[in-house]
Structure 1
């Protein structure tokens, strides 16, 4: 991802927040057969305060990616959306796309079966927690044999990135009144490009930058 100093996102806390709120990531590897991409949910490693993530892939994706043997790129995609030039007022302008994203690169460590089970359990608990009646991994009707068969069909990994590129492109290069207009348009229910999440991310960034002036 090409970096622009005006849009750089280097604060670890902000990138952790991005991962926490957007756990569905794209995993990319360069293999002898060419580029390979897969999509899986990841979590921040609870034992670390850096950008280490844990997750799993279904077999044989571990072999296809060469998991543990070669560099893996995890792409985290946050809120993003189209920005119309009509929102800039009566001035020469072109469309753009606002977004928040981070690229985490490194050689992942393969997890033991017990470690993988812990990750799988945490993943289920994380996403089931919002359900009215959560179905946790070890609870009936699942039995231990079923859960362990499930684990054997996956490969867990831990990725401590050796290279991180974070980017937050949220109209920081526009005057305050234009930023306010873009936020309002993204939050408007009648707009075909309305996106409350992107509007909220822009508002949060805008208020933080104003407070720092």
Structure 2
């Protein structure tokens, strides 16, 4: 991503939040044959008592033969998480400011995948299902029919990615005056063509952090 220090997201917990709230990720590999991209749900692995609490560890699965296409385990991959994003119209700015932009929350994470055993893969698949089913009125689990679930799981390959570095951005109009930011948030919460309450929430989060920082000075 473009190096924009004003918008850098360096807090590990904030990056984890983006990952946790937006688990549909893009996995990108530069292989011997070409550049390959695939899209899968990704979860944060819960750290154990002896693990580094600041480490970011991802778990997911790919469908066969994506593990071959990506050459998983042979080199580093990039995993991209896209949070809320949207167009910001210059119509929401003062008249002299007429250049539009696109606000976004994005995290790029790198690491070399570790191929999971069949048992670990099945466990991760179960955790993925349970994670997304937990909000359903009647959650469905792989435990409904473990034998069938295990047969289906044979078409997948589980991976763990211990993140070695990340590059994250929260570009949320931090370069604009407070009154302009307030107008943008108001428009994003409205009913116009570019309304985006989720993006407005992210901007309010940054505004609150800035306000807390000023009070602490």
Task: State TM-score, norm by structure 2.
Answer: 0.94
| Residue segments in structure 1 that go unaligned for 5+ positions in a row | none
46-55 vs 160-169, which deviates more? 46-55
Question: Are the aligned partners of 1:3 and 1:165 in contact in 2 as well (CA < 8 Å)?
Answer: no
Q: Does 1:85 align with 2:71?
A: no
TM-superposed CA distance for 1:32, in Å, is 2.1
d(CA) in 2 for partners of 1:92, 1:112: 56
Aligned length: 209
The C-alpha deviation readout for 1:142-195, integer Å capped at 9, x for no partner, is x22211112211111111111210110000010000000000000002x10000
Runs of 4+ in 1 over 4 A off after TM superposition: none
d(CA) in 2 for partners of 1:7, 1:166: 8
| Residue segments in structure 2 that go unaligned for 5+ positions in a row | none
- Match of residue 134 from structure 1: 139
TM-superposed CA distance for 1:82, in Å, is 0.2
Q: Does 1:39 align with 2:44?
A: no
- Match of residue 148 from structure 2: 146
d(CA) in 2 for partners of 1:144, 1:102: 35
d(CA) in 2 for partners of 1:42, 1:118: 14
The C-alpha deviation readout for 1:62-83, integer Å capped at 9, x for no partner, is 0000011111100010000000
Task: State TM-score, norm by structure 1.
Answer: 0.95
d(CA) in 2 for partners of 1:10, 1:101: 12
Q: Does 1:174 align with 2:179?
A: no
- Match of residue 73 from structure 1: 78
Matches within 5 A, 1:132-211: 132-139=137-144, 143-189=145-191, 191-211=192-212
TM-superposed CA distance for 1:3, in Å, is 2.3
TM-superposed CA distance for 1:203, in Å, is 0.6
Matches within 5 A, 1:90-109: 90-109=95-114
Q: 1:58 aligns with which of 54, 63, 66?
A: 63
148-157 vs 45-54, which deviates more? 45-54
TM-superposed CA distance for 1:92, in Å, is 3.1
Matches within 5 A, 1:5-44: 5-44=5-44
Question: Are the aligned partners of 1:183 and 1:203 in contact in 2 as well (CA < 8 Å)?
Answer: yes
